[in-house]
Amino acid sequence: MDMSDHKHRIVPDQLRSRWWFDNPDHPGTTALCIERYLNYGITLEELTSGKPIIGICQSGSDLTPCNRHHIELVKRVKDGIRAAGGVPFEFPLHPIHENVRRPTAALDRNLAYLGLVEVLHGYPLDGVVLTTGCDKTTPACLMAAATVNIPAIVLSGGPMLNSWRDNERVGSGTIIWELRKRLAAGDIDYDEFLSRATDSAPSIGHCNTMGTASTMNSMAEALGMSLPGSAMIPAPYKERAAVAYDTGKRSVEMVWEDLRPSDILTRAAFENAIVVCSALGGSSNAPIHINAIARHAGVELTNDDWQQLGHKIPLLANVMPAGAYLSEEFHRAGGVPAVLHELLDAGKLHAEVMTINGQTLGANVQGRETQDPEVIRRYANPLVEHAGFLNLKGNLFDSALMKTSVISADFRRRFLNDPSDPDAFEGRVAVFDGSEDYHARIDDPALNIDETSILVMRGAGPVGHPGGAEVVNMQPPEALLKRGIESLPCLGDGRQSGTSGSPSILNASPEAATGGGLALLETGDRLRVDLRRGEVRVLIDDAELAKRRRRLEAQGGYRYPAHQTPWQEIQRTLVEPLDRGMTLEPATKYRDVARR
């Protein structure tokens, strides 16, 4: 790199890695740190001549198929690092694979975060490339980057190719929810269920829908933490490997420029991310993860911000589950930069924020308008007018989110149909304690579930079901499915898969297990949901609620299953509610912890 570059803020002597690798004041330390790296062929010259040492945080493994592609991809990252004069060091991230890990991959987000913080704190790295993909790999990496605050850049592995069946697009994840209903209704058998499910994953890469993985990688780009246009390049495309090379090169330049996460992860950047999430029809897990990254970056961000900044933003990305297409069309239509371009033109974004390539967001998206206005809509011609989250409150919880971009016409017709009160509905609740209870009892006629019922899931938050279960999108009983009633309103203190298209009320905080009001609800209670006023209320008086609370407390509070592992116990002791990002409370006070 040209040392006269005006962006150049540090010189080789200031590299953090020099303390370990070239420290004449502590020759013993240096000798101990350096000798063992030579035992596989790294040379003394590489470690002592002032080349930036760049970590590559490897999230791919045989256990993590969504990210496994990174095992190949990092070869191009290393080429880029070498080309820019750096030395790459690859190391593993604790595996996080969404749909296999039990009890839930959400447990691993904070565990991987802690592990990565320790690595970035205590090893001789001047910068780091964060390889991301499957849902929680992106927030785990960004949370750690925010805490440690060394130069860091995100490289998504990219989504799978489009998946097809009978000449129709089938969205990964999303199709599973549909197939489960068809299997339960007796419309398909087990073999066809499996064959259709496997058709939905046609190549390397993460989910090709706008589920949590695509949302979070798009958020990383919207925040300014990955190269413009890189988030949604499908995994097998040649551009994916090319952007891996560019990311490697850029990681070295960032070290010389001393461009850190704290320069990028500002309040304005998080406000941009909220706006972009709405326009994408992004996952209901995004507020949890974005709020968590913000907390670690020292930025105040709440679910009220999500409603205030995001709710009225229109849906521009015509991608499943809110829309019709998949990641290949989204990428060809211009990807995240085209969405940013529309939002910027409409005056909805902060243009001046700094991004990872050293340019502002405004500069990055110049001339990047949509190449296909059917797939990435013009701001004036959206798919849905108000696509963001509502932050609902009431007498059972302080915050619960509803993703309004997926409220279907059928749902509106059946539940939001009173002309004098078009944004409200009431129903009798059927209450379940965790997903096993739901599966055991959903078809029980004694519950009297009909087409006006509301299904409630509690015991599914980060404490009740360690990590928070993605179980709030419950399907109606078989008898209703057979009559063509495909969905009922759902409410719960757990999460919902980002690939699900159900208009559920999610992430209710505080959860039942930590004293939240859902613990007081009984099957047969009536609930009123008022979307205009942002309220969910159980229609019983305060005295009755207080009586139920006293009874619950006399019984020792809401019961939840025992810890199965040491980490489950530790996380349950320290974790904050979903609306605060499900972060580990003691961790959120640490900033700038890179050892120097």
**Residues within the interface to ligand FES (CB under 6 A):** 66, 98-99, 134-135, 173, 206-207, 211, 213
For ligand FES, the closer of residues 92 and 557 by Cβ is 92
Our CB check for Mg ion shows the closer of 67 and 497 to be 497
Match 């605050």 to its residue by tokens. 149
The yes or no reply on residue 405 touching Mg ion (CB under 5 A) is no
Residues in region 121-180 near Mg ion by CB under 5 A: 135
281: left (phi over 0), alpha (psi -120 to 50) or beta: left
Min. distance of Cβ 588 from ligand FES in angstroms?
Answer: 26
Beta carbon of residue 296, minimum distance to Mg ion (angstroms, whole number): 21
Residue 386 near residue 313 (C-beta atoms within 8 A): yes
In the complex, least distance from residue 582 CB atom to Mg ion, rounded to whole angstroms: 13
- CA 261/CA 313 separation, integer angstroms: 27
Report the partner that residue 154 touches, choosing among ligand FES, Mg ion, none (CB closer than 5 to 8 A by kind): none
Q: How far is the CB of 99 from ligand FES (least distance, A)?
A: 5
One-letter amino acid of 55: G
> Hey, which residues between 95 and 124 contact Mg ion (CB under 5 A)?
98
CA distance 393 to 395: 7
Binds 309, which of ligand FES, Mg ion, none (CB < 5 to 8 A, cut-off by type)?
Answer: none
Angstrom distance (rounded) from CA 149 to CA 239: 29
Q: What does 308 interact with, of Mg ion, ligand FES, none (CB < 5 to 8 A by kind)?
A: none
Strand partners, 92: 58
Q: How far is the CB of 429 from Mg ion (least distance, A)?
A: 25
Q: How near is the Cβ of 17 to ligand FES at its closest, in Å?
A: 33
Closer to ligand FES by Cβ: residue 499 or 507: 499
Q: Are 472 and 457 in contact (CB under 8 A)?
A: yes
Over the window 483 to 522, marking each residue x when it contacts Mg ion by CB under 5 A and - when it does not, the resulting string is --------------x-------------------------
User: Cβ closer to ligand FES: 133 or 577?
Assistant: 133
Task: Report whether 282 contacts 350 (CB < 8 A).
Answer: no
Pairing of strands 164-165, 152-156: unpaired
Amino acid at 50: G
Contact partner at residue 234 from Mg ion, ligand FES, none, CB < 5 to 8 Å by partner kind: none
The binder of 497, among ligand FES, Mg ion, none, by C-beta within 5 to 8 A per type, is Mg ion
Indicate the residue among 83 and 100 with the shorter CB distance to ligand FES: 100
Residue 478 tokens read as 């078989």
Nearer to ligand FES, 97 or 249 (CB): 97
Contact between 212 and Mg ion per CB under 5 A:
yes
Say how many residues touch Mg ion, by CB under 5 A.
4
In sequence order, what are the beta bridge partners of 430?
455
Q: Which two tokens stand for residue 494?
A: 């757990």
User: By CB under 5 A, is residue 433 in contact with Mg ion?
Assistant: no
Q: Is 475 in the site for Mg ion (CB under 5 A)?
A: no
Complex with ligand FES: residue 16 or 206, whichever CB lies closer: 206
CB atoms under 10 Å from CB of 187, counted, come to 13
Per-residue binder mask for Mg ion (CB under 5 A), 229-268, x = binder: ----------------------------------------
Q: Which of 116, 134 has the CB closer to ligand FES? A: 134
493 binds, among Mg ion, ligand FES, none (CB under 5 to 8 A by kind): none
- In what helix (H) or strand (E) does residue 549 lie, and over which residues does it extend? helix 542-554
Handedness of CA 313, 409, 327, 108 (dihedral sign): positive
Cβ of residue 496: shortest distance to ligand FES, in angstroms? 13
The partner in contact with residue 394, picked from Mg ion, ligand FES, none with C-beta cut-offs of 5 to 8 angstroms by kind, is none
Q: Report the partner that residue 134 touches, choosing among ligand FES, Mg ion, none (CB closer than 5 to 8 A by kind).
A: ligand FES
Which amino acid appears at position 286 of this protein? A
- β-strand pairing of 526-530 with 535-538: antiparallel
* Residue 36: DSSP 8-state: G
Q: How far apart are CA 248 and CA 153, in angstroms?
A: 9
Q: Where are the alpha helices (DSSP H) in 100-229?
A: 106-122, 137-148, 174-184, 190-199, 212-223
Task: Output the smallest distance, CB 43 to ligand FES, in A.
Answer: 39
Please report, as a single letter, which amino acid is at residue 461.
Answer: G
Work out what residue 99 binds among Mg ion, ligand FES, none; the CB cut-off runs from 5 to 8 Å by kind. Answer: ligand FES
Residue type, 450: D
Other C-beta atoms lying within 10 Å of the C-beta of residue 329:
19
Site string for Mg ion, 10-49 (x = CB under 5 A): ----------------------------------------
Q: Which partner in ligand FES, Mg ion, none is near 341 (CB below 5 to 8 A by kind)? A: none
Which parts of 281-392 fold into alpha helices (H)?
A: 286-297, 303-305, 327-332, 335-345, 361-364
Alpha-helix runs per DSSP H in 68-136: 70-83, 106-122
Q: Considering the complex, state which of residue 204 and residue 264 has its C-beta at the smaller distance from ligand FES.
A: 204
Q: For residue 155, what is the enclosing H or E element?
A: strand 152-156
Q: Which is nearer to ligand FES, 173 or 467 (CB)?
A: 173
Tokens of 135: 């849902």
Per partner kind, with CB cut-offs from 5 to 8 A, the member of ligand FES, Mg ion, none near residue 480 is none
C-alpha torsion 101→106→107→110, nearest 10: 130
Query: Between residues 173 and 228, which has the closer beta carbon with respect to ligand FES?
Result: 173
Q: Which is nearer to ligand FES, 172 or 364 (CB)?
A: 172
Per the listing, tokens 């970590």 go with: 55
Which listed option, ligand FES, Mg ion, none, makes contact with residue 310 (CB within 5 to 8 Å by class)?
A: none
The least CB distance from residue 215 to ligand FES, in Å, is 10
- Strands 505-509 and 87-92, sheet pairing: unpaired
Chain residues that interact with Mg ion, rule: CB under 5 A: 98, 135, 212, 497
